[in-house]
Structure 1
Amino acid sequence: MSPTRATLPGGTRSEQLLLLGLLLVSAAVLAALFLVSVHTPDGRAADEHVRVWTVRELAGLQPVGAFLRSTFPLVLAATSVVLAVVALVHRRVAPVVAASSVVAVSVVLARLLRERLPRPPGGTPLDGDAVVNTFPSGHVAASASLLVAVLLLWPRRPVPRTALVLAAVVLLATALGSVVTHTHRPSDVVGSVLLVAAVSSAAVLVARAAAARGRSRPP
């Protein structure tokens, strides 16, 4: 295997600690964001202020936002499937398992949290009902996790910087599309990104641990 190819991103000790830190920080900030933006009056007011400002300033982008919001997940899903097939052809199973885990766990967790987390009555209605919980955004969670899957399945390491920049632009466009189309609050989309960050960190850590155990076994 050439030095530019790898089954997963590098596995140095410092990178493992960085992933563990990202997992813990993302989970903690996700919980704090929900408690503040949903369960405190000041947090709900700030969230609504950002939402109104975004919708007002980017009102002209609503049709574009709706198109991107519906298109990006399909494009990302198709891309990840193609990369997964290529990876399996080259017998790179670990990144396929990690990428699949990130998408599946992120989407399921986002739905469970949105259905089970309580949202107190009051505040400004969104889609006609302020009581229905919209945190986190399942759509953004799906898009973000598919982006991570594409990066994990990318056939060469390191992933080109242009690909990382493009991924960030795609994620930002999807998040803004969910806000300007009155589908989600800013806290919903930020919460989804934090959720995917935590799940992705955990998935890569588990994949690396499994790979390390496999190497340590006698032939």
Structure 2
Amino acid sequence: MQNPTDMPKLHEILSNRIAVNILKLLYEQEMGEKKGEKKTYVARLSQLQSLLVLVDPPLSAVDLLQKAELITTEILTGVQQASPEQDTLRQDAPEQDTLPHQETLVSITTKGKEFIESIDHLIEIYTGEMPQKNRKRFFISLELSRDEKRILLALCKLVQQGGVKQPTIKLLTQAVFPSQPLAKKLGLVEHLVNKLEQLNMLHQKKDKKGSYLLVTPKGYEAVANEYTKGIEL
């Protein structure tokens, strides 16, 4: 068992949306909560990335959960068949028709299961809902914060209403915090943009002229109600 002083703080886990949702997915897969669903005790990291619609593998979230002893990981090493494109590029070595391959396998611990059950129980207490046996638990952390929605909403308005084709982070900061000094809020906006990109709500694109932002369809959907009704956050 890990030294308690080396464990991540509780708020680090609870405030990490991706980490909580990874834990939730692993719990639901192992418990087989959906009717007729086969129980799965191990998940591939690439599978979790796909299910959570993430741009990059959630390595930092997995590392956080592992340090908290809420999950365990195992590296599976093997080979995979080379694709036709790779075969074409490797005609100089035709005898090598396979490529090295690594996959990270993730499984939830008993502590992890108790942790996610406790979170669901707290939600039931807070909302006043009566516990229901075999009720499909819900994700607690996919809802965007007010600031995250403000970022997406401002970006949508810059593009759709302002006609800005390539909005930058600086321009976005000025739109969200028009009465604040740019230097004071730029770091916060950069942090929120990075979080939203991990959630596939927006992308940061780069070209010869610099870096600019694009809202994804998922990002538009997240603020569609506020945008169409002209609601200010």
Shorter-chain TM range is under 0.3
| Higher helix fraction (1 or 2) | 1
Higher RCO (C-alpha under 8 Å, 6+ residues apart): 1
TM-score by length of structure 2 reads 0.23
TM-score by length of structure 1 reads 0.24
| Higher strand fraction (1 or 2) | 2
